[in-house]
């Protein structure tokens, strides 16, 4: 095994061993300024993906939430029945979900949700299901 892999594995195991009982196992850190989402499992960075958050005139809320509910094939009631596949809802109608407008990823383009490439949204959806809603944390910062 390579040294960097072993170091990451040891760090993950230590993080898991000293983690408080109420801490999230899965964390999605979304940066509005860099338009990225960093996914950590047990403190170890697993993914860093481009996202699209709120464009001018709309807001992506900042803060920290646990995941509230999942919807595999959701459609927006507010925005013309727009598709929101692999939706992980975290704050009212706000969700992390797939977009088919992938050319806009990496810059603001949404009505407030956090948009991901469909493959990445499917992965995050599966991870959230695996870890559980209470063990998944969404953190959005400037």
Catalytic residue among 97, 111, 117, 131: 97
Catalytic residue among 74, 111, 113, 131: 113
Q: Cα 104–107–108 angle (5° rounding)?
A: 100
Query: 53-56, long-range: CB within 8 Å, 24+ apart, which pairs?
Result: 53/108, 53/110, 53/112, 53/113, 53/114, 53/115, 53/140, 54/108, 54/110, 54/111, 54/112, 55/108, 55/109, 55/110, 55/111, 56/108
Which of 120, 78, 81, 77 has the alpha carbon at shortest distance from 98? 120
Which DSSP symbol is given to 102? G
Any idea which residue has 């797939």 for tokens?
98
Q: Does the annotation count 131 as an active-site position?
A: no
**Catalytic residue list:** 97, 113
């Amino acid at each position: 095994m390579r040294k960097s892999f072993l170091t990451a594995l040891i760090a993950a195991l230590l993080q898991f061993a000293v983690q408080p009982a109420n801490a999230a196992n899965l964390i999605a850190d979304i940066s509005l300024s860099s338009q990225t989402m960093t996914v950590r499992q047990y403190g170890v960075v697993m993914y860093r993906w481009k996202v699209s958050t709120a464009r001018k005139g709309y807001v992506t809320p900042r803060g920290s939430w646990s995941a509230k509910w999942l919807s595999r094939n959701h459609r927006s009631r507010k925005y013309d029945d727009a598709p929101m596949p692999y939706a992980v809802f975290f704050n009212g109608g706000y969700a992390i979900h797939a977009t088919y407008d992938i050319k806009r990823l990496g810059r603001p383009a949404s009505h407030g949700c956090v948009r991901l490439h469909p493959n990445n949204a499917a992965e995050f959806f599966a991870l959230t299901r695996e870890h559980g809603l209470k063990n998944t944390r969404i953190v959005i910062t400037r």
